[in-house]
Chains A and B, each alone.
Chain A
Amino acid sequence: MNNLQPAAAKEQPVSPAGPRGLLPPLNGRYLWPLLGLVLLLAINLVLAPEFFQIKIVDGRLYGSLIDVLNRSAPVALLAIGMTLVIATGGIDLSVGATMAIAGAVCANMLVGGVDSIFLIVAGGMAIGILIGAVNGSLVSFLGIQPIVATLILMVAGRGIAQLINSGQIVTFQNEAFTFIGTGSVLGVPFPIVLVLIVFAAVQLLMRKTALGLFVESVGCNAGASHYLGVNARAVKMMVYCIAGLCAAFAGMIAAADIQGSDANNAGLWLELDAILAVVIGGASLMGGRFSLVLSLVGVLIIQCLSTTIIMSGVPPKYNLVIKALVVIFVLLLQSPRFQAQIGALIALARSRNNKSVGERAEA
């Protein structure tokens, strides 16, 4: 992903409100998440050097690293949309259910005899945007809190997907569509390619139009944005639509992967992983500055964590607990009060050290 970073690196790293003073001044907000990811990778390197081995079999890349990237593709897509929604101070709980609906729509189009892969993908995309528009309308026009507004479709969405599927797991055989989940381009699994494409497109949309600036402006200070003449409603509408679209892509990957649409399990709880990824990437749930790159780093941290746990020989059943503890730790790191407490502890330790040094000098 390095080749894409310059686009994001353009925006000046702004030190988050908290760690100022406590952490080295060079921190930026890229430091901690990247450090976390590097640390995890380093642990993997020590535990199992084969983690970094990449083999080419039949023109396709294989290896643990590729596996991690491939498996994290759906969450990565969700996290891209979620980042924007959270940047405006919102949240979207319905993306998991949206995945199920988009998968169901595509599967039923396939089974119903639609041949054109373009039509099918367009159908999935359209349903994603539609769901995003519903969420966006509830939030920006009815003024319902985002967590409440998107809860509605989180609950009803899976029912709708089951309705579309008539309660069955709808399976299909279609090479073109299956390619979305299992194909590869120049040896790179297609889900990874899709993430890169969506990332590049959203990044361009945000940074090459004024939309990104408006998203951050609305998220940082909604009141001032209103005085500035920024159309907050349209901005919010847009980010929920993008989140819906990203979820639809994720849903298509999930469906293509198993060659079927499982309304009950497709994307189940992935919205929570996506939110976690964004938070681990250092974003504030209150809205404001966003970085798609950092959210993707957050996704990789979550995914690498599971892999690391398996490699380190800890039984996989410890996975959830470790994940929970990491989240709590990251949350605490972002809390000003915790920073102050740690800062005080460090200061105390330092003054003790100095004192003992002084005593020694005297002696």
Chain B
Amino acid sequence: MSLLKLNNIEKRYPGVKALDGVDFQLREGEVHALLGENGAGKSTLVKVMTGALQGDGGSMTYRGEPLRLKSTAQAQSVGISTVYQEVNLLPNLSVAQNLYLGREPKKFGLIDWKRIREQSREVLKRFALDIDVTQPLSSYSVAIQQLVAIARGVDMSAKVLVLDEPTASLDSDEVEQLFGVMRELRDQGIGIVFITHFLDQVYAVSDRITVLRSGCLVGEFETAKLPREELVGHMLGKELQAQAHRAQERDERATGEPLLEMDQVAVRGSLQPTSMTVRRGEAVGLAGLLGSGRSEVCRAVFGVDKKSSGKLKFSGRERSFRKPAEAIEAGLALCPEDRKASGIVGPLSIRENIALAVQARRGWWRPMSRAEQQELADRFIAELQIATPDADKPIEQLSGGNQQKVILARWLATNPELLVLDEPTRGVDIGAHAEILKLIKKLCGEGMSLLVTSSELEELVAFSDRVAVMRDRKKVAEIEGEDISENNIMQAIAEA
């Protein structure tokens, strides 16, 4: 029986249509995986169904009745609970307090701690958790915190449980434990919406799958009847073709010495030991689904995350970058994935944003004069066709695509030996998208070494000399030369 039904949901943001007439149906007693790449609209849909956002159009029915959600609190009260990736409980409060915050049983007007503790133990027993409920939540592992969050939701008589990437920071045993709980809850008739980046987990635990792409519904599938390759194809918007041809012919380029050599580089908690090489004048693509470890490779190379083991050589010298400044000094550059948080310096002008990296490298005492900054900015505004009346506009007032071009300009100005681009075309309008792609190809042509991640296989095929495929936080395949095709990459991503 249908438990929660979303019909024709629409949600617009200025300039973007985040959800375009999406349907979603959750049955009683099922685990329903919700999948999609960046910008697919998953998180928006989740927010709509949990009351954190109101859709601009469409309707919802809950257990056969029409439902209008105005807040997460209202969603919780009718029985729709959410557990987020970053556990949204309070680490400073005890486990018992977290379970009963705001609905504590009272005795003589005072909170009845004895009863809370007993009930907490009782509730957690259902989840096979035997822990000291008086300890602060922060003294337990993320896995246990997740289970406590689920327990809170279930105990608040949840009928619908939305698990938003609950497994992102769990190890395999913990994932198993979580799946055990999920199956048990499903058997009790609870409907679970499961959002994850791990395909293995989708096949391990889910009954049905809904795939979104670019704000539209791709389809709803029975997990057991959907082959992996097809699922990946749906997510990436590519059909497997019989003929595996490269999208474009491209010139063979002479590649030189190894520039970047990663030997079993790992980062605790985010990257499994991974080896990879980028040669001089070579463009290496990093393929994989969201959360597969693509960005983690970029961050480890650039010294944002400290590697916990393995060796990294750059320009033939063994290096261990402790912070980006050291990587920049050595000749690296990184356009980060999260442009707003780690890329742009919002209120500062385009000119200053372009000059900053060069200036940081030069230090305090060798300032660029305003004229120098202006010249640099004007040059790149012309070269990269940044759409702006002048270089003094604050970068936060530009469109996403133009912001990205400014960030690219910033790094090109430093003349890097290796340019790392983490999803350079994400959240960028079509026009700028094409131009950024053209620029990448031009840089390839000029012999710059590039390491580029992208969710769009077409892009990777277009410019990569080699494609490293990531899955589950480690490299699982490397495709070279003639073999580079969307089909081959997809297969490598999907392989079990």
Contacts and interface: CB of A to CB of B under 8 A. Distances in A.
The short answer to whether A and B are in direct contact, CB under 8 Å, is yes
Interface of A: 10, 12, 14, 17, 208-211, 213-214, 216-217, 220-221, 223-231, 288-289
Given A217-B356, A227-B343, A209 B348 contact: no
Given A210-B362, A228-B345, A231-B360, 15 more contacts: A209-B364, A213-B356, A213-B359, A213-B367, A214-B364, A220-B345, A221-B344, A221-B346, A223-B341, A224-B345, A226-B304, A226-B342, A227-B334, A228-B410, A229-B329
Given A12-B392, A213-B356, A230-B356, A225 B363 contact: no
A217 B366 CA distance: 17
A229 B367 contact: no
B115 interface: no
Contacts of B329: 229
Nearest to A234: B364
A210 B368 contact: yes
B123 interface: no
Given A210-B368, A213-B359, A230-B360, A288 B343 contact: no
Nearest to A221: B345
A227 B342 contact: yes
B409 to A, nearest CB: 13
Interface stretch (B68-76, B320-328, B460-468): B320-328
Interface string B308-324: 00000000000000011
Contacts of A210: 359-360, 362-368
Contact of A220 (B302, B348, B366, B367): B348
B328 A229 contact: yes
B347 A228 contact: no
B303 to A, nearest CB: 10
Nearest to B352: A213
B442 interface: no
A229 B357 contact: yes
16 contacts: A14-B394, A17-B347, A210-B359, A210-B367, A210-B368, A213-B356, A216-B348, A226-B323, A227-B334, A227-B342, A228-B328, A228-B410, A229-B324, A229-B357, A230-B360, A289-B348
A209 B367 contact: yes
A10 B370 contact: yes
A227 to B, nearest CB: 5
A226 B368 CA distance: 20
Contacts of A288: 347
Contacts of B366: 210
Contacts of B365: 209-210
A225 B328 CA distance: 13
B336 interface: yes
B350 to A, nearest CB: 11
Contacts of B438: none
A14 B356 CA distance: 18
Contacts of B328: 228-229
Contacts of B304: 226-227
Contacts of B325: 229-231
Indicate the member of A12, A208, A225 with the most B CB atoms within 10 Å.
Answer: A12
Contacts of A216: 345, 347-348, 352
User: Can you list the 5 inter-chain pairs with the closest CB atoms, starting with the nearest?
Assistant: A229-B325, A229-B328, A229-B360, A210-B367, A12-B392
A288 B348 CA distance: 9
A112 B190 CA distance: 82
A210 B325 CA distance: 16
Contacts of B119: none
A230 B329 CA distance: 11
B38 interface: no
B364 A211 contact: yes
B125 interface: no
Contact of B360 (A12, A214, A223, A289): A214
Nearest to A225: B345
B367 A227 contact: no
A17 to B, nearest CB: 8
B410 to A, nearest CB: 8
B268 interface: no
B108 to A, nearest CB: 39
Contacts of B352: 213, 216-217
Interface in B141-194: none
Given A12-B349, A209-B367, A210-B364, A228 B323 contact: no
Nearest to B343: A224
A50 to B, nearest CB: 43
Interface in B342-398: 342-349, 352, 355-357, 359-368, 370, 392, 394
B353 to A, nearest CB: 9
Interface string B398-430: 000000000000100000000000000000000
